[in-house]
Homo-oligomer: A and B are copies of this chain.
Amino acid sequence: MSQPRPGGRTARTRAAVLEATIDQLTEAGYAGLSVDAVARRAGVHKATLYRRWGTADGLLLDALTLFADRSVAMPDTGTLDGDLRDIARSALAVLTDRAGQALIRAVVSAGHDAQVAQVIRAFWTRHNTMVARVVDRAADRGELPAGTEAADVARAIGAPLYMRLLVTAEPLDTAAADQSAAVVTAAARAGVFARPAPHGAEPPM
Q: Which residues of A contact B (CB under 8 A)?
A: 104, 107-109, 111-112, 117, 120, 124, 152, 155-156, 158-160, 162-163, 166-169, 173-175, 178-179, 182-184, 186-187, 189-190, 192-193, 197-200, 202
Q: How far is the CB of A68 from chain B (nearest CB, A)?
A: 14
Are A168 and B155 within 8 A (Cβ)?
Answer: yes
Q: Give Cα distance in the complex from A197 to B180, angstroms.
A: 12
With known contacts A175-B202, A190-B190, A163–B169 Cβ distance under 8 A:
no
Give chain B residues whose Cβ lies under 8 Å from the Cβ of A108: 108, 166-167
Question: What is the count of identical protomers in the complex?
Answer: 2
Q: Give Cα distance in the complex from A199 to B124, angstroms.
A: 28
Q: How far is the CB of A179 from chain B (nearest CB, A)?
A: 7
Are A160 and B155 within 8 A (Cβ)?
Answer: yes
**CB closest residue in chain B, given A169:** B117
Are B159 and A120 within 8 A (Cβ)?
Answer: no
Find A187's partner among B109, B187, B197 (CB 8 Å cutoff): B187
Are A174 and B187 within 8 A (Cβ)?
Answer: no
Residue among A111, A152, A187 having the largest count of chain B Cβ atoms under 10 Å: A187
Other CB < 8 Å A-B pairs besides A107-B167, A162-B166, A174-B200, 9 of them? A120-B167, A156-B160, A156-B183, A159-B163, A166-B167, A175-B197, A179-B193, A184-B187, A186-B192
Give chain B residues whose Cβ lies under 8 Å from the Cβ of A200: 173-175, 178
Find A183's partner among B163, B168, B192 (CB 8 Å cutoff): B192
